[in-house]
Amino acid sequence: MAGRKWMAIRDMDIAAEIIGVNPLKAKLTAFAVSGFFVDGRGAVVTAANAVQSCGRVTLDDTYEASVAASDADLGAALLRPSEALAPRAVGAFRADTPRLKSEVAVAGYPFGGVLSAPTLTFGSLEDLQGLEGEAELERLALSARPGDAGGPVLDNGGAVLGMLLPQRQGNQALPDDVAFAADASALQAFLRDSGVSASETRGERAMDPEDLTSLAADMTVKVSCW
């Protein structure tokens, strides 16, 4: 079990038996994105449009989950696993205002889960609103890939600043290094309305890169649509 970011609360022998005969393994995913744990029982936040039309949703290709709530305007969905999980780390949302131009990192699965652990992509926080003044958005200077959508945007102390949104589709092509995130306060409001009490923190001094990578790996989940 070394290296696992969580383990089922149920008896592990039973869980291993289930994993060994998981019928989902025999099917190909339509696509995979990212998400992150937001409570101690394994609830996950991810990109809403990634799970809106799935026959099944799984976490890390192992546990089935269902869409408990969704906000199309915010672009976020709340997933609940079919059985309670015990995450090694849960995202803590930053309660104070981050500094513009500060370094951020997105944890995600940019290659659709080909790699066994999430990857950190670094960039900077460019604005605390969208291009048209949307208060629930943050603008990032960061080159993300589609599989990163739904992943946590972290400051250099490991606090969650937001959730990375999928690349915008429209008539205007934005530069490759422009990305947007649903901001922490909007996500917290969505979670409260969905019955989840999310953890908060304030901006702290920078973590060592190894510690930040470890924290990101423990809280970030591969979300697959089957």
What single-letter DSSP state applies at residue 99?
A: P
Helix (H) or strand (E) holding 125: strand 119-127
- From first CA to last CA, the distance across the chain in angstroms is 25
- pTM for this one? 0.85
pLDDT at 124 over 70: yes
21-38: b (≥16 Cβ within 10 Å) or e: eeeeeeeebeebbbbbbb
- Using one digit for the tens of pLDDT, what is the confidence trace for 85-121? 999 999 999 999 999 999 999 999 998 767 778 999 9
DSSP for 128-160, written as a single string:
SS-TT--TTEEEEE----GGGTTPEEEETTS-E
pLDDT band per the 50, 70, 90 thresholds, residue 23: very low
Q: How far apart are CA 136 and CA 159, in angstroms?
A: 17
Residue 87 identity (one-letter amino acid): P
Is 59:6 a contact under the CB 8 Å cutoff?
Answer: no
**Tokens standing for residue 28:** 């190909």
Tell me the C-alpha to C-alpha distance, in Å, between residue 23 and each of 58, 80, 182, 191.
12, 20, 34, 31
Q: How many whole angstroms separate alpha carbon 204 and alpha carbon 194?
A: 28
Q: What confidence tens digit (pLDDT) does each residue in 55-81 have? A: 999 999 999 999 999 999 999 999 999
Return the pLDDT at 170. 56
CA distances from 134 to 96, 176, 224 (A): 18, 20, 29
Band the pLDDT of 158: cuts 50, 70, 90.
very high
Using CA atoms, how far residue 202 sits from 95, 155, 173, in Å, is 5, 10, 35
